[in-house]
Each structure stands twice: as C-alpha cells, then as structure tokens.
Amino acid sequence: MFTRGLKLVLSFSWIAFVVAIGLGIVTIYLSALRSAKKASKISPIESIRNSSEIKIKSKKLKSPKVIKKIFELVEKFLIKI
C-alpha cells in the first residue's frame, strides 16, 4: 500500500562497530580497575575473617512528589476496576 517505490538499504559502518567495541572495553576496564583498587586496600585474611560480618544496608528510596501522586492515582484507578 505505502511501499511503492520504497527501497530499504542495509549499511554497515566499521567505524561505528570499532568505536562501540572500544567503548565497551574501556568501560569494563575502568569498572574492573575501580573494584581492584577497593580490594587492594583490604588484606585477604581480613576479608575472609570479616565476610560473615558484611551486611548490606538498604537505603530508603526517595522519589519526587509528582511520581508519588501518579502512583497513587494509578492505584486508586486499579482498585476501582
């Protein structure tokens, strides 16, 4: 119906591919480097001894008042259904 005379061309850019791969490698390297620096500050024996004492503290999620109002409205609407 609307495709008369329409040609689709698939193109591949090696530059975009190489940049994406390079950016991925740099991101992974930097995140691994950050973790390694944190781990290097603690001796292996201390980390084994204190592994049972490590507890993750949950943080209270803060959201804007507008978002809270939207969820309240959706909740009220769903309860009526």
- Give the pLDDT confidence score for residue 20 in this predicted structure: 96
Q: Using the predicted structure, report yes or no on whether residue 9 has a pLDDT greater than 90.
A: no
Planar angle of CA 58, 63, 73, nearest 5 degrees: 120
Does 2 or 35 have the greater pLDDT score? 35
pLDDT value, residue 38: 82
What pLDDT is stored for residue 80 in this prediction? 75
- CA dihedral angle for residue 70, residue 76, residue 78, residue 81, rounded to 10 degrees: -140
pLDDT attached to residue 54 = 57
pLDDT at 23: 96
The 10s digit of each residue's pLDDT in 14-70 is 999 999 999 999 999 999 998 888 888 888 777 777 665 556 666 676 778 888 888
